[in-house]
Amino acid sequence: MTVQIRHTPLQYRAVGEIAAAMPGAVDVFRKYNVNFCCRGHLALDEAARQRGIETAELAAALDALEEMETVTGSPANWSSDALIDHIQTRFHETHRRELVELIELSRKVEAVHAEHPRVPRGLARLLRQLQGEIEVHMKKEELILFPAMRRRAGGGLDEPISRMRHEHGDHGDFLDQLATMTESFTTPDGACRSWQALYAGLAKFTGDMMDHVHLENFVLFPRYEEPATS
């Protein structure tokens, strides 16, 4: 399967679609802090407006990339079984392992630096809540949705996929809270190694979550949804 690049003007294309189809677009969106996963349905001009960026500047950065008519060797060309296996091993297992470590680190930082004006108070509680919601979400995929996908050639799973997409939006809200609480993962001057490790880990976790959600929303899920009728 290949992904055909659509010729809709760039500013009107969804950022998630652009990220899936245009090599290098993910790096551009990360540079400009554009959410291409949980907010991937937004058109480029709307996403730019929400970030306070000129659409022309963002479009120019994307235009500078070498856009191809087809994307080969990308996850968009993998079989659905291979995609599902990758999602479970690369993301589900990693999230489970790293969240345990991040919760422990956040508890330590909050306790040791309780009097520091920039300590991320409530971070451990937020991460525990996120951990619980993500675990339930991943179990739904592993026990219900993914097995159903493996049994089907495509189509007919719109309702469960819609629920997963909605929960992805909730996950995006959590990521926004993490960024706000940690000042975009910026440690204060003189921060201890634990604090630095915590924010570095949170930044990685956030990036992984964005890649994970984007892969499902814009590569895997569309294979099992009925085409929209005009």
Q: Which residue has the higher pLDDT, 87 or 21?
A: 87
pTM given for the model: 0.74
> pLDDT digits over 37-46, tens only?
878 889 999 9
What token pair was written down for 99? 């969240």
Helix (H) / strand (E) element for 208: namely helix 193-215
Domain-embedded: residue 38: yes
Query: Smallest Cα–Cα separation from 215: which of 5, 34, 26?
Result: 26
Q: What count of Cα atoms within 13 Å lies in the side-chain half-sphere of residue 146?
A: 18
Phi, psi of 43 (to 5 degrees): -70, 155
Within 8 A by CB and 6+ apart from 182, the residues are 120, 123, 199, 202
Domain-embedded: residue 4: no
> pLDDT digits over 46-76, tens only?
999 998 999 888 888 888 775 444 444 578 8
| Co-location of 137 and 104 in the same domain | yes
Whole-angstrom Cα distance, residue 82 to residue 78? 6
Whole-angstrom Cα distance, residue 93 to residue 97? 6
| Co-location of 117 and 177 in the same domain | yes
Domain-embedded: residue 141: yes
What token pair was written down for 50? 């929400």
Domain-embedded: residue 21: yes
How many domains, in total, are found in the chain?
2
What token pair was written down for 153? 């050639």
| 18-32, 94-108, 170-184: least confidently modelled range | 18-32
Give SS3 for 150: helix
Domain containing residue 200: 79-224
Give SS3 for 43: strand
Give SS3 for 152: coil
